[in-house]
Copies of this chain bind each other. A is one copy, B any other.
Amino acid sequence: MNELALAAFAAHTDSHLVHAPRGERFARFARSFDSNAYLADLERRGLRWVARSSPHFPRALGAIFDAPAGLFLRGLGELELLERPAVAIVGARSCSTYGSDVARMLGRELAAAGLVVVSGLARGVDGQAHRGALEAGGITVAVLGCGVDRDYPAAHAELAARIGEQGLVVSEYAPGVEPAPWRFPARNRVIAGLTQATIVVEARERSGALITADLALEEGREVFAVPGEITSALAAGSNRLLRNGATPLTCAEDVLEAFGIEPEPATAPPEVGETAARVLAQLELEPAGADTLARALGLDAGEAAAILTELELLGTVSERDGFFRAVRRLG
């Protein structure tokens, strides 16, 4: 089968196809399809194609029951990196500060440990997971539900470019294919398929991330869910996964253990003064505003503000709306 013709035909007919359709229409398309011209055009645009039948097609993805006809690739990363141990980090687009922090920390720590971090380039959890991996100087792969020539979402165009500097932006859809809601569940099976484990960071009920998790389970891959507060609608889906038997993820080491990777000895926490240490300990119990913190610890407002700024710069505290939370307990 000419898989490239199939991918081009799917784009042409705005459909999702993993097997050649019977009937005259595709046959006619395939007969007139000029693979060499198509590939030359891809190359001219800095894009690549790997067919499902190629020995270079990622084995983990080839093993799923409805593997795509092939993958279009953008970016400078070697195709070989899709064979490395990889983990998917997925979750809500409108995530909370907690979900955002955790996605970024997991991206950073798992990439630092040598895992390829795969996600969907979406806003929220996806974007933070990619960013975390880039921060660690690690490899990350974005799987799109549209052509790899599209920057979707537009706000992540620069992020996509940075991903492509060492990693890859991939899609089963040919260049030019527009994003469409019905393509995202299909895209999610590629995310699950490329990886040995899927992490759901924060997900509402009926979230797309749960589809990724289901697909991962169906393919016998590991699924982790990050516990969240049961009063949060944003954690309803991820906590439901825990109910359904997903492995609770409490720190990056839980994932590394599943990959048989010996975690690096924990780096010593940044040195801070005694008062800053008290502030941090308090925030590890519960997020708080600066005034409450100052009162609780008997500090004056200026001192508390200075310490919070210091801790923010060290990356051990994050702030939103004047509310501070500890962020560095993972890993």
Contact = CB atoms under 8 A, between A and B. Distances in A.
Interface of A: 94, 96-98, 101-102, 226-236, 239-240, 242-243, 247-251, 254, 281, 284-286, 288-289, 291-292, 321-323, 325-327, 329-330
24 contacts: A96-B286, A98-B231, A101-B231, A227-B227, A227-B228, A227-B229, A227-B230, A228-B229, A229-B229, A230-B329, A232-B284, A232-B285, A232-B286, A233-B281, A233-B284, A233-B329, A234-B285, A239-B248, A239-B250, A242-B242, A243-B247, A243-B250, A291-B321, A323-B323
Copies of this subunit: 2
A227 to B, nearest CB: 3
A286 B234 contact: yes
B286 A97 contact: yes
Given A231-B326, A231-B329, A289 B321 contact: yes
Contacts of A326: 231, 233
Given A243-B254, A289-B321, 5 more contacts: A230-B330, A233-B285, A242-B242, A242-B250, A248-B248
Nearest to A106: B230
A48 to B, nearest CB: 38
Contacts of A98: 229, 231, 286
A229 B242 CA distance: 14
A70 to B, nearest CB: 38
Nearest to A239: B250
A245 to B, nearest CB: 10
Contacts of A288: 321
A101 B322 CA distance: 23
A323 B249 contact: no
A211 to B, nearest CB: 20
A117 B286 CA distance: 27
Contacts of A240: 250
Contact of A102 (B226, B230, B322): B230
Nearest to A325: B231
A168 to B, nearest CB: 29
A236 B250 CA distance: 8
Contacts of A229: 98, 227-229
A271 to B, nearest CB: 20
A231 B327 contact: yes
List 8 A-B pairs, minimum CB-CB distance, nearest first. A227-B227, A242-B248, A233-B284, A96-B286, A292-B321, A239-B250, A230-B250, A243-B248
Contacts of A232: 284-286
A227 B226 CA distance: 9
Contacts of A235: 227
A284 B97 CA distance: 13
Nearest to A321: B292
A94 B254 CA distance: 27
Nearest to A288: B321
Contacts of A323: 289, 323
Contacts of A94: 285
A288 B215 CA distance: 34
A323 B322 CA distance: 10
